Amino acid sequence: MDSDALFLVKQLFWQGEPKACINEATSVDISDQTDPESLSRALYAARAHLALPSRDISSALSVLEPALTADEPAASVRAVKSFAEYLQAEDKASKVEELRDLVLEYDAEEVNDETREEERIVRSMAGTVFILEKEVEEAVTTLSEGCGKTDLECTALLVQLLLSIHRRDVAQTIYQNAKSFGEDSLLMQIMEAWIGMKTGGRPLNQSYYLYEELYQLPSGRTPTVLASHAAAHLLLGHVDEAKADILEAQQTENGKNDAAVLSVGATLGMPGCFEQLKSVDPSHPSVSEWEAKSREFDEAAAKFKPVSA
């Protein structure tokens, strides 16, 4: 398979443009999913359907139907199917175990070039679920072993996880190591921007410049880019500009229900953003943190009795 055949598909996926990614991935016939390129396109299209704010699970599974109905579906296809079903399942435990079992099919130390593409999808899907389940150690192990050591998507998930648990030092080391195999990739630039936003100072300015560059692209003003642009503005103290980005994002398709947009809007204190975020994504970290702080306040307040006059 031509190494550049999926360049635009990947760019759109990484930029948070799921609809455009789906259109590009399916711009050619992908019904013959015994062909590696067609299967890779189908997997990106399916994952993009799952990345839509509405999480179009039926469309994701429909895209993969030719591969799912094969005598022996590839592990990557089974992983995306398990992830899709996890997202809609009330009892998620069985789907978590399905993905855990798929990871165990691969050697943690040796990488088989013939199954590398399958393995990286399995690790990224399983790692995502472990992050959602707050199984931090399992996620770190899954994303940093096997082909995860040299896969950009696994590395990006790992960097994002490390930043979320305030281990910027380790995230920086992982990012530096990734330069050996992903120097010119957009995803490397995005990882650098995430780290810069956690670091502040000059790295924060560099983060802003990346999001400004994406913002200026003809199709760049997606909810994801606008939310990131707004966050960079906010960290730089540009509150009015950040609010303008969120207002613009809310005018885009799906922007009103985008968790990243609503989270930044809530941080800015914009009316209705927190309530909408709680409605569309009750398990979002911003919601969980706010509710935890509210409980702590109520518990502290309950210890004090009003002084009678």
Alpha-carbon distance of 221 to 261, in angstroms, equals: 12
307 — alpha (psi -120 to 50), left (phi > 0) or beta?
A: beta
Task: Check residue 106 and report its DSSP letter.
Answer: S
CA dihedral 156, 160, 166, 169 (to 10 degrees): 10
Alpha-carbon distance of 143 to 125, in angstroms, equals: 10
pLDDT in tens, 187-204: 999 999 999 999 999 999
CB 198 within 8 A of CB 168: yes
Confidence of residue 305 (pLDDT cuts 50, 70, 90): low
Residues 6+ positions from 287 with CB-CB distance below 8 Å:
274, 277, 278, 281
Q: Is the pLDDT of residue 287 over 90?
A: no
Alpha-carbon distance of 226 to 22, in angstroms, equals: 20
* All domains in the chain, ordered by first residue: 200-309 (1.25.40.10)
Alpha-carbon distance of 171 to 168, in angstroms, equals: 5
Output the 3-class SS for 162-175: HHHCCCHHHHHHHH
27: helix, strand or coil: coil
Confidence of residue 99 (pLDDT cuts 50, 70, 90): very high
> Position of tokens 């880019």?
225
pLDDT in tens, 34-57: 999 999 999 999 999 999 888 899
pTM of the model: 0.89
CB 26 within 8 A of CB 48: no
